[in-house]
């Protein structure tokens, strides 16, 4: 499968990133191992997780996803060589475990490395901006990790254009490592946070972009078309906001394009993202092998200009 350069990280990734948020939550260890193995066997290679996944589950503390990925990687050193491992720091895991201070980053990186059972993180992301910590302190902490060989490249998630611009400027002025990758929320429905100044900045600076919620928490699969459908998933509360007139127009367009290509709506939604200028590869998760096969098909689906024009128009 063709690989795309991930900004200036030195890594190339296939046009889809596997979301690890479900591992240890809606996908148990056995299923997670099967999904991870099939994902790499299909020629895909980038796996996204975070130290906070899945702390929202009762009884969880965060790190469950990294732990499962680590156990899987340990089974075969070859897998570690194939995979680009992406994880994040910054979400609150406890009173003294939050933000992007130097102390927090150093400890969080060691914790993630232990759970992942590896000696380095390929791409380490600031999960959210931290207004309480100077940007220079954060970048210096990353520089130390990179000098130690614990981290190969850095990026950020959930930054707006002004926050990203500041971070890039500080890196340039101080001679520090810069964020080479952005992970924004972006999909056919949620376009406002990324399109515009933020996308323009990423393109101008040559950043890699790996959007999360590529399927809008599952809404763009077409599985949820009324409030009565929300009970089909533990994500129901996240999906309700999409059940408006615009959401229905988007589903209608996805249905039409899917029928024309003998595909599923989710495959069309991801193919639209894959084809977007300013997107390296969207992130999507799977809780079954059947779902994963659909994600793989999305990377092989070539939309026509007419298809893209229709989807652009309904989702604008």
Rounded Cα distance, 78 and 75, in Å: 9
| DSSP 8-state secondary structure symbol assigned to residue 23 | B
Q: Are 120 and 151 in contact (CB under 8 A)?
A: yes
Rounded Cα distance, 300 and 274, in Å: 10
Rounded Cα distance, 163 and 109, in Å: 23
Is the peptide bond between 134 and the residue preceding it cis, with omega within 30 degrees of 0? no
Please name the helix (run of DSSP H) or strand (run of DSSP E) that holds residue 172, with its range, or none. Answer: helix 161-174
Nearest to 163 by CA among 182, 145, 176: 182
Q: Which of 53, 194, 224, 242 does the annotation list as catalytic?
A: 53
Rounded Cα distance, 17 and 279, in Å: 12
Q: Is residue 179 annotated as part of the catalytic site, yes or no? A: no
Rounded Cα distance, 41 and 134, in Å: 42
Rounded Cα distance, 190 and 200, in Å: 17
Q: Are 54 and 64 in contact (CB under 8 A)?
A: yes
Cβ within 8 Å of residue 244, ≥6 positions away: none
Nearest to 4 by CA among 280, 290, 285, 312: 280
Q: Which two tokens stand for residue 250?
A: 């988007």
Residues identified as active-site: 53
């Amino acid at each position: 499968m063709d690989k795309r350069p991930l900004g200036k990280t030195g890594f190339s990734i296939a046009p889809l990133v596997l979301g690890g948020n479900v591992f240890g939550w809606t996908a148990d260890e056995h299923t997670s191992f099967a999904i991870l193995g099939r994902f790499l066997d299909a020629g895909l290679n980038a796996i996204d997780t975070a130290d906070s996944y899945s702390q929202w589950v009762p009884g969880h503390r965060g790190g469950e996803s990294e732990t499962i990925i680590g156990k899987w990687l340990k089974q075969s050193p070859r897998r570690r060589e194939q995979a680009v491992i992406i994880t994040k720091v910054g979400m609150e895991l406890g009173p003294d475990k939050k933000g992007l201070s130097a102390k927090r980053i150093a400890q969080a990186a060691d914790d993630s490395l232990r759970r992942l059972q590896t000696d380095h993180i390929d791409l380490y992301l600031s999960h959210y901006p931290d207004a309480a910590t100077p940007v220079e302190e954060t970048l210096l902490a990353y520089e130390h990790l990179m000098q130690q060989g614990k981290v190969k490249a850095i990026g950020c998630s959930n930054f707006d254009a002004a926050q990203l611009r500041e971070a890039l400027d500080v890196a340039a002025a101080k001679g520090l490592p810069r964020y080479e990758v952005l992970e924004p929320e972006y999909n056919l429905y949620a376009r406002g946070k990324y399109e515009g100044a933020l996308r323009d900045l990423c393109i101008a600076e040559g950043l890699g972009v790996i959007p999360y919620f590529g399927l809008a928490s599952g809404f763009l699969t077409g599985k949820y078309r009324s409030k009565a459908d929300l009970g089909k998933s533990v994500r129901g509360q996240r999906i309700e906001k999409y059940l408006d007139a615009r959401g229905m127009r988007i589903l209608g367009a996805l249905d039409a394009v899917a029928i024309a290509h003998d595909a599923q709506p989710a495959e069309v939604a991801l193919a639209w993202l894959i084809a977007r200028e300013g997107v390296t590869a969207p992130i999507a998760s799977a809780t079954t092998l059947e779902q994963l096969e659909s994600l793989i098909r999305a990377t092989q689906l070539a939309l026509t200009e007419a298809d893209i024009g229709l989807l652009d128009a309904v989702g604008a």
